[in-house]
């Protein structure tokens, strides 16, 4: 498995609507495995394909916290929220493409998600708590939406400027 480099906002590839995956291939399975590896290494609890520069509808996640049980890596091709609760919840979110910036985002507290798994099988599951927040955050990425898009413009611009500065520093090495 190979670690992929994670794009940092702002980047046009993070703003694209990603293409559905019609059929699985070894290449896509390898990408999913690499993404899981990259996510655990970061460390993070979710990663979407556009964050590694691939504009396909693929996300990976694992919201089991260290010491709270066995890891539960999920690979979702073409994930879709098919139902959501009226009740909402607020979590402080972060993003591997927006390092060290966190903000509270309100989303539906429970969602039902349908997806195709690593073996090409259709899956459906209800998520709540951190899992619900995380899966919605990652699916947003597939539509070019970042968590900072839910913030007030001023806050969003401030974070974007910080990221531009970070990228300039990284480019200089």
Active centre residues (catalytic): 138
**141 a known binding residue?**
yes
In terms of CB distance, is 49 or 95 closer to Zn ion? 95
Do the beta carbons of residue 119 and residue 31 sit within 8 Å? no
The distance of closest approach from Cβ of residue 158 to Zn ion in the complex, given in angstroms and rounded to an integer, is 18
**95 a known binding residue?**
yes
Contacts 24+ apart (CB under 8 A), 154-161: 155/103, 159/98, 159/101, 159/103, 160/9, 160/10
In terms of CB distance, is 58 or 95 closer to Zn ion? 95
Angle subtended at Cα 1 by Cα 16 and Cα 36, rounded to the nearest 5 degrees:
50
What is the contact surface with Zn ion in residues (CB under 5 A)?
A: 95
Instruction: For residue 50, give both structure tokens.
Output: 């556009």
The distance of closest approach from Cβ of residue 97 to Zn ion in the complex, given in angstroms and rounded to an integer, is 6
For residue 135, give the 3-state DSSP assignment.
Answer: helix
In terms of CB distance, is 28 or 59 closer to Zn ion? 59
For residue 117, give the 3-state DSSP assignment.
Answer: coil
**137 a known binding residue?**
yes
The distance of closest approach from Cβ of residue 15 to Zn ion in the complex, given in angstroms and rounded to an integer, is 13
Binding site listing for Fe cation? 95, 137, 141
Binding site listing? 95, 137, 141
């Amino acid at each position: 498995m190979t670690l992929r480099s994670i794009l940092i906002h702002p980047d046009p590839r993070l703003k694209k609507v990603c293409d559905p995956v019609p059929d699985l291939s070894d290449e896509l399975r390898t990408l999913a495995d690499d993404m899981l590896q990259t996510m655990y290494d970061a460390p993070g609890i979710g990663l979407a394909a556009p964050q590694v520069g691939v504009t396909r509808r693929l996300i990976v996640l694992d919201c089991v916290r260290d010491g709270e049980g066995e890891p539960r890596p999920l690979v979702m091709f073409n994930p879709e929220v098919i139902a959501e609760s009226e009740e909402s919840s607020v979590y402080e979110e972060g993003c591997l493409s927006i390092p060290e910036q966190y903000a509270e985002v309100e989303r539906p507290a429970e969602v039902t998600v349908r997806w195709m798994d690593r073996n090409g099988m259709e899956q459906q599951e209800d998520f709540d708590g951190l899992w619900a927040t995380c899966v919605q955050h990652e699916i947003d990425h597939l539509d070019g939406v970042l968590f900072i898009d839910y913030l007030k413009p001023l806050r969003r611009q401030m974070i974007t400027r910080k990221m531009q500065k970070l990228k300039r520093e990284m480019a200089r090495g």
